[in-house]
């Protein structure tokens, strides 16, 4: 009980200091609402991790080995070929901002910003569904422990799909033993199935979270 009381005190202190303002909650609610109604994109194939690792020898931009402690399961040439062979359709700012600069310009949306996050977020996005836990945690303890737990479960599942589809070798991690080889047609199909299944699980959580944010903002909790 004491940790919960301490967290509540900290939350109230942050609110008093303006760190968790009404404007911030309103923006989160706007993102959740727009994500729900925006058209889902099932053609991204988890290429964000590949776009981060892209290397163009003729470019002065640095090679961004984002997860530097992990080995790659494919060669750099394969990474480059995969990135160049198909459109990049990333809609999530926190994924896009880590792209190699050359691949940012190759994206269907060449400029994504925090301010326009609600415009581009869509319900099939692995990262948007991962973010549900972040949004639930930001409002805790006003959200139920069940909603917080289920959002965490979705986030963990999303992260596993995310890394299994990446160029990294994550086979030593539990639940990630088998890669999703999106560099192949079969792998792309598998990714879409996993992505769709996760989106279905995230949908009711997003709706419930929207309701809690709406109640919190309008003082009905």
DSSP 179-209: ---TTSHHHHHHHHHHHHHHHHHHHHHHHHH
Q: Could you give the 3-state DSSP secondary structure of residue 72?
A: strand
Interval 9-33 mean pLDDT: 73
Interval 93-101 mean pLDDT: 95
Contact in structure between 29 and 217 (CB atoms under 8 Å): yes
Predicted structure pTM score:
0.85
| pLDDT value for 60 | 47
Give the distance between the most distant pair of CA atoms in the chain.
58
| pLDDT value for 69 | 81
The number of angstroms, rounded, from the C-alpha of 176 to the middle of its chain's C-alpha atoms is: 18
pLDDT band of residue 6 (cuts 50, 70, 90) is low
| pLDDT value for 2 | 46
């Amino acid at each position: 009980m004491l940790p919960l009381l301490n967290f509540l005190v900290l939350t109230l202190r942050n609110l008093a200091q303006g760190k968790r303002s009404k404007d911030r909650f309103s923006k989160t609610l706007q993102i959740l609402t727009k994500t729900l109604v925006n058209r889902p994109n099932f053609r991204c194939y988890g290429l964000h991790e590949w776009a981060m690792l892209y290397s163009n020898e003729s470019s002065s931009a640095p090679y961004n080995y984002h997860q530097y402690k992990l080995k790659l399961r494919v060669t750099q040439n394969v990474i480059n070929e995969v990135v160049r062979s198909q459109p990049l359709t990333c809609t999530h700012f926190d994924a896009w901002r880590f792209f190699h600069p050359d691949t940012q310009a190759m994206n269907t949306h060449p400029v994504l910003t925090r301010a326009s996050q609600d415009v581009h977020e869509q319900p099939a996005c692995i990262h948007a569904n991962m973010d549900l836990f972040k949004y639930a945690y930001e409002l805790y303890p006003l959200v139920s422990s069940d909603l917080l737990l289920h959002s965490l479960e979705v986030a963990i599942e999303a992260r596993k799909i995310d890394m299994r589809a990446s160029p990294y070798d994550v086979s030593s991690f539990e639940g990630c033993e088998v890669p999703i080889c999106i560099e192949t047609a079969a792998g792309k199909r598998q990714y879409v199935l996993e992505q769709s299944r996760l989106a279905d699980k995230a949908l009711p959580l997003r709706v419930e979270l929207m309701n809690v944010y709406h109640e919190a903002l309008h003082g009905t909790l």
